[in-house]
Amino acid sequence: SYVLTQAPSVSVAPRQTATITCGGDDIGRKSVHWYQQKPGQAPMVVVYDDTARPSGIPERFSGSNSGNTAILTISRVEAGDEADYYCQVQEVFGGGTKLTVL
Amino acid sequence: QVQLVESGGGVVQPGGSLRLSCAASGFRFSDHGMHWVRQAPGKGLEWVAVIWYDGNNKYYADSVKGRFTISRDNVNSRLYLEMNSLRVDDTALYYCARVRGISTGWADYWGQGTLVTVPS
């Protein structure tokens, strides 16, 4: 079955840029979706179909996808962005990346 | 507004059975595929099953295939997950989630989950 690989954790200072990666075989040919999950809450999509943003999600959240790596980029990181982030391809989730805001 | 409310979780002994339910409201239920996704305590998300809008297509994770059955009642806007032969590693918070389209894909709305505990 298809495997998605995420780094367990990423740390970034406020107002800096966070980069969260999702690796998969030829993932660039697939649609990737990204979810944010804060403690005690259900996941919420922040990027879908590689680059699209649902209404209400700040422009600071953006996605890209090419080759074997999809990327979620969070610009001008805020304390409120601290959460777990999961990528999804079809019916597979990555293991998740915990974003810590220093 | 869109609401998904799961119920039916609880403590069940290994080998036992449980039926989860998800009550949907605020949208036309029959226009959307639906997922079950679970999350073991302190762990990541694991997709469990998906059912297409009309109930005619169902797909399962290998870890639950043959033990779990997903179904839906489009008249009453309900999603179900019948779980049999439960194992300790089925312990998790089970979410129902609405697919953006009629089949499968990303989930645009999630419930708050119902907890299933299978003690060792």
Q: How far is A79 from chain B (nearest CA, A)?
A: 21
Q: What is the DSSP string of A44-83?
A: EEEEBTTTB--TTS-TTEEEEEETTEEEEEE-S--GGG-E
pLDDT digits (tens, 9 = 90+) for A48-63: 999 999 999 999 999 9
Give the angle B81-B45-A51 at the CA atoms, nearest 5°. 115
- pLDDT the model gives residue A1: 86
Output the CA–CA distances (angstroms, integers) from residue B49 to A15, A20, A61, B42, B62, in the order listed.
39, 26, 28, 21, 10
- pLDDT the model gives residue B25: 97
pLDDT digits (tens, 9 = 90+) for B14-30: 999 999 999 999 999 99
pLDDT digits (tens, 9 = 90+) for B27-59: 999 999 999 999 999 999 999 999 999 999 999
Q: What percent of chain A has pLDDT over 90?
A: 99
Q: Is B33 on the interface with A (CB under 8 A)?
A: no
Q: Which residue, among B67, B58, B69, has the nearest Cα to B118 in the 3D structure? A: B67
CA nearest to A45 within chain B: B108
Average pLDDT over residues A2-10: 97
B103 vs B54: CA distance, rounded Å: 9
Q: Is A97 on the interface with B (CB under 8 A)?
A: no
Average pLDDT over residues A98-102: 97
**Set of chain B residues whose Cβ sits within 8 Å of the Cβ of A54:** 108
